[in-house]
Structure 1
Amino acid sequence: MTQTYLGIGTNIERDKHARAAIIELQRLGVNLQVSTIYRCPAAGFDGAEFYNFVVGIDTDWALPELSRRLRAIEVAYGRPENAMKKQDRTLDIDILLFGEEISKQSLQLPRCDIFKFNFVLQPLYELCPDLVIPGDGRSVRQVWEQEFNSIGGMSNLTAITLNLSDDYQ
């Protein structure tokens, strides 16, 4: 089993797609953890507000197959196959951390969003503060303590309540 952390974002039919992501992701592994869901402005473009959160999961899937399956989930819920960055989206699922994997290729691991966006770092911190980030050497807590305020802190994050109790157990 590989401990994996995924960043989830949606700004089209947010409640529906946040729930769908959680339901679909629980099928890909065990020990599903879901962070607080945060509402925040679109980053880098003029779009509707997003729901962003992080899911932790232990999975047996190899990285290429997991990536393929995540993409299939996005497409199944309406994300165009040729979707561009910085545009509204039904569902965006990014692999933030995949065990001890380090990669500078097209699937960058650890994903640099951890260090750049408060809507990624805050929920990751909630789930695994003591996890050491591969290749960085700092724990998520250390990154949070050193960088969180400089990337916006809680200034644009609003915790929302989304009733998930009936959707996954």
Structure 2
Amino acid sequence: MAQIFISLGSNIEKEKNLLSGLQTLIKHFPNYRHSSVFESEAVGFTGSNFYNSVFAAHTPMSLNEVYTRLKSIEYDHGRRCNEKKFSPRTLDLDILFYDHLICSSPAQLPRDEITKNAFVLQPLAELAADFIHPVEGKSIAQLWQEYHNPSQKLWKVEFPKL
């Protein structure tokens, strides 16, 4: 069983889409943990604020199967194939870690945004403080403690518990 961490984000009907995306993930990965939900300003473009969180689970699926499943969930939530990297999202699901695998296909692992964006690193630190980043060689808690980017502000929001 592989341990996976998935980031969730939405800024289009963000509560509805994040909740629906989370419910769908739970159907596919029923033994899960979910971080708090954070709101943050858009990064890389001007747009509505995002809701973000991190989902953790164990799965017998291969990396390719997980990747394909996440893309299918995104498309079912209105995501389109050729959207620009920095643009509004109905639902964005990114694999952050698949065990300690390092690869570039079908997804970049570990995900580059982990160390660059507070909206990924803070909720990940809630769920996986002791997990060692396979490239950085540091725990997620240590990466969060060392993180400094005052331009990225985020705050916890009330969100339905599942």
What's the TM-score, normalizing by structure 1?
0.90
Moved segments of 4+, more than 4 Å: none
> Structure 1 unaligned runs (5+)?
none
Distance in 1, matches of 2:112 and 2:149, equals 13
Distance in 2, matches of 1:106 and 1:72, equals 14
> Corresponding residue for 2:95?
95
1:146 aligns with 2:143: no
Whether the 8 Å CA contact 1:118–1:152 is kept in 2: the answer is no
CA shift, 1:29, in A, is 2.1
Whether the 8 Å CA contact 1:28–1:59 is kept in 2: the answer is no
> Structure 2 unaligned runs (5+)?
none
CA shift, 1:100, in A, is 1.5
Distance in 2, matches of 1:120 and 1:77, equals 21
Alignment RMSD: 1.4
Whether the 8 Å CA contact 1:30–1:58 is kept in 2: the answer is no
What's the TM-score, normalizing by structure 2?
0.94
- Letter of the aligned partner of 1:152 in structure 2? P
1:161 aligns with 2:158: yes
Deviations 1:16-72 (A, max 9, x none): 111111111112224211111011110010111000111111111100111011000
CA shift, 1:105, in A, is 4.1
Distance in 2, matches of 1:143 and 1:44, equals 22
> Corresponding residue for 2:128?
128
Name the CA shift for 1:58/1:106 in 2 (closer, same or farther; >3 Å).
Answer: closer
Alignment of 1:38-77 (within 5 A): 38-77=38-77
- Letter of the aligned partner of 1:156 in structure 2? K
Distance in 1, matches of 2:66 and 2:150, equals 31
Whether the 8 Å CA contact 2:102–2:134 is kept in 1: the answer is yes
> What SS does the aligned partner of 1:82 have?
coil
